[in-house]
Amino acid sequence: MSSNTNLARSVLVATLTMLLLSSLMALPGCSPEGQEVMRVQYRWGPTRDATISWSSQEIGFPVNSKGGSGYLYSISAADAEHVWAVGNGGEIDALENGTWKQSFVTKPNDFLFSVSALDPSHVWAVGMNERERCAAIWFFDGTSWKQQAAGEFKGVTLNSVYALGSRHVWAVGKGGTILFFDGSSWTRQKSGTNVELKSVSAVNPSQVWATGTDETGGKSALLYYDGTSWKRRDPGNGLSFDTIAAIDASQVWALGGNPDQPGSTGAYCFDGSRWVQSLQEAPEFVPTTVYPIASNNILVTGISYAQGGPYCEVALFNGRTWNIQQARVEPGYGFIAITAAGPSHLWAVGKDMVPYVGPFSRPSAIYFGTNQQ
């Protein structure tokens, strides 16, 4: 065989190898050894005039030998077949083969307030353990749930976790707590505040946001991490936010307002220089959570108290206008958390918003949504 033929074959093999490696690095959970697994953003088409059809997939699991409570706080999808929801009593529910199951209970005294799924083998759930009075941090490796930093962070309650990559995970909570996971261990990062942080979101390792407010005293904090340290960012106009979700440097969404300024509560967008109110709260729509998919696809869930409510509603933003739709779910239920794995795969945790008489309210519900364009 000629040397030219051998050279051509070597070039072809090298090219195919590079293409294979590139494709593997683009897939969650399939990075070559040594490469960090990073989050993949889903990007849909325009949502204008789209309608999301919601259906109930599960309303509470009975307390069984595993424990659990039936009350959920957070939900996160790695893809259309791998979704997790977490809540009281250390309850972790999972979508398995199209069916929701109570897959694991961490500890009976765990309260899990947030879950973040990077891919099917990198999932974190955080909260607090009431008996041990310390942070609760659990990790799913694709096979089983394992506790991380057991008993290490005393007196800490974690409210939110965000997994940007397998070596870049942040969790925030009470007392201005910020924890960071580098792929091997959790450590504290200085926040410079003692305000209760309720939400964290990241664009990349040097663009991370955290926000929160204290229930008493009216204190608030909006923090930004530049890859080196956390610094306060004043949103101006007396604004404070409880929920934040970042797409890029000029697309950061938050829910909140100025408690002393009527009409200021709603959804805000940071355009890279200032915060602008995009959606205003009204009796017909009180926002509860925000989930951005891309710049022209923003979902805000809310509750309407008009005409004998509460009713569950979803607002869709297409980059120009908002389209508010009633989510036809069980009466009295409202969405408190939402996640998505593409336009036809959305999930939400529903909470009973009706004041109740007696020791217990109705258990949480999990709803599945399909975007019908």
Q: Quick one: which H or E segment has residue 3? A: helix 3-25
pLDDT at 216: 64
With a cut of 60, say whether residue 310 has pLDDT above it: yes
Best-predicted range by mean pLDDT (226-230, 301-305, 316-320): 226-230
Average of per-residue pLDDT across 292-314: 84
Give residue 68's pLDDT band: very low, low, confident or very high (50, 70, 90): low
With a cut of 70, say whether residue 134 has pLDDT above it: yes
With a cut of 80, say whether residue 373 has pLDDT above it: no
With a cut of 50, say whether residue 272 has pLDDT above it: yes
Which comes out higher in pLDDT, residue 344 or 60?
344
Whether residue 52 is contained in a domain is answered as no
Write out pLDDT tens, residues 146-196: 999 999 999 999 999 999 999 999 999 999 999 999 999 999 999 999 999
Q: Are 29 and 280 in contact (CB under 8 A)?
A: no
Q: Tokens 């307030």 belong to which residue?
A: 113
pLDDT at 264: 93
pLDDT at 108: 87
Q: Are 107 and 130 in contact (CB under 8 A)?
A: no
Which residues in 141-285 belong to E strands, given as ranges? 145-147, 158-165, 168-173, 178-181, 186-188, 199-204, 207-213, 220-225, 230-232, 240-248, 251-257, 266-270, 275-280
Give residue 200's domain range: 58-282+332-345
pTM, rounded to two decimals: 0.86
Residue 312 CB neighbours (<10 A): 27
Strand partners, 209: 201, 224
pLDDT at 39: 72
Q: Are 313 and 304 in contact (CB under 8 A)?
A: yes
Residue 234 CB neighbours (<10 A): 11
Write out pLDDT tens, residues 237-260: 999 999 999 999 999 999 999 988
Average of per-residue pLDDT across 270-279: 95
The region of weakest confidence among 15-19, 70-74, 213-217 is 15-19
Q: Taking Cα atoms as reference points, which of 116, 109, 105, 122 lies closest to residue 74?
A: 116
Write out pLDDT tens, residues 215-224: 765 689 999 9
Which comes out higher in pLDDT, residue 208 or 352?
208
pLDDT at 217: 57
Write out pLDDT tens, residues 323-364: 888 898 888 889 999 999 977 889 999 988 876 545 456 788
With a cut of 80, say whether residue 24 has pLDDT above it: no
Residue 3 CB neighbours (<10 A): 7
d(CA 306, CA 299): 21
Q: What is the mean pLDDT of the chain?
A: 84
Those residues whose C-beta lies under 8 Å from the C-beta of residue 83, and which sit 6 or more positions away, are 75, 76, 77, 94, 95, 117, 339, 341, 347
Q: Are 228 and 205 in contact (CB under 8 A)?
A: no
pLDDT at 48: 44
Give residue 227's pLDDT band: very low, low, confident or very high (50, 70, 90): very high
Q: What is the CA radius of gyration of the chain?
A: 22
- Percentage of the chain surpassing pLDDT 70? 81
pLDDT at 25: 34
State the CATH number of the domain containing residue 72.
2.130.10.10
Whether residue 105 is contained in a domain is answered as yes
Q: Tokens 């206008």 belong to which residue?
A: 321
With a cut of 80, say whether residue 75 has pLDDT above it: yes
Average of per-residue pLDDT across 104-129: 96
**148-165: b (≥16 Cβ within 10 Å) or e:** bbeeebeebbbbbbbbbb
Number of domains in the chain: 1
Best-predicted range by mean pLDDT (20-34, 41-55, 296-310): 296-310
Tokens of 321: 């206008």
pLDDT at 11: 39
